[in-house]
Amino acid sequence: MKKILLTFGILSLVAMKGISQEAKPATPAAVAPASQADIKFEKTVHDYGTMKQGADGGCEFKFTNSGKEPLIITNCQGSCGCTVPSCPKEPILPGKSGVIKVHYDTKRVGPISKTVTVQSNALSGTQTIQIKGTIEAAPVEEQFPAGGNAPKTGSPVEKGNN
């Protein structure tokens, strides 16, 4: 019993010592300076309008580095698996432009409103671009002629006299 109480007492002292430690404020030299890169999109929304099911769901978002340092895009993430972005891997120099390509899978029918989150070292922080529109069902091809005019093949069915 003494061992249990002694162990509990030691653990309590260690826990209190850890809680009582004060966090040291960060010194100004330890804080990284803010990046001077910035991203400016020509448009932040692409409206597909009305498209047929299975149509090409690709679009592009053009942007410019309006800052004073190279712009580095660290991540592009679609809001779902049907929206796939492709972002430049190389830094975009000040005053230069780049393109983010977005492909939407048009197999699904109905209205769409999806986003792509763009993370970078830009002063403006994380940006969001959007795609929207409506996907209409593709026309269904008929396998047989309409109106029952299909040619009759095979032997006729005989009715029995039961």
Q: What is the pLDDT of residue 34?
A: 74
pLDDT, position 141: 73
What is the per-residue pLDDT for 27?
45
Measured at the CA of 115, the angle between CA 112 and CA 116, to 5 degrees, comes to 140
Low-confidence ranges of the chain (pLDDT < 50): 21, 23-24, 26-31
Q: Which domains does the chain have, with CATH numbers?
A: 39-136 (2.60.40.10)
Q: So what's the pLDDT on residue 134?
A: 96
Q: How many helices (H) and strands (E) does the chain have?
A: 1, 8
Return the pLDDT at 160: 57
Residue type, 139: P
pLDDT of residue 16: 56
In the prediction, which pLDDT does 30 show?
A: 45
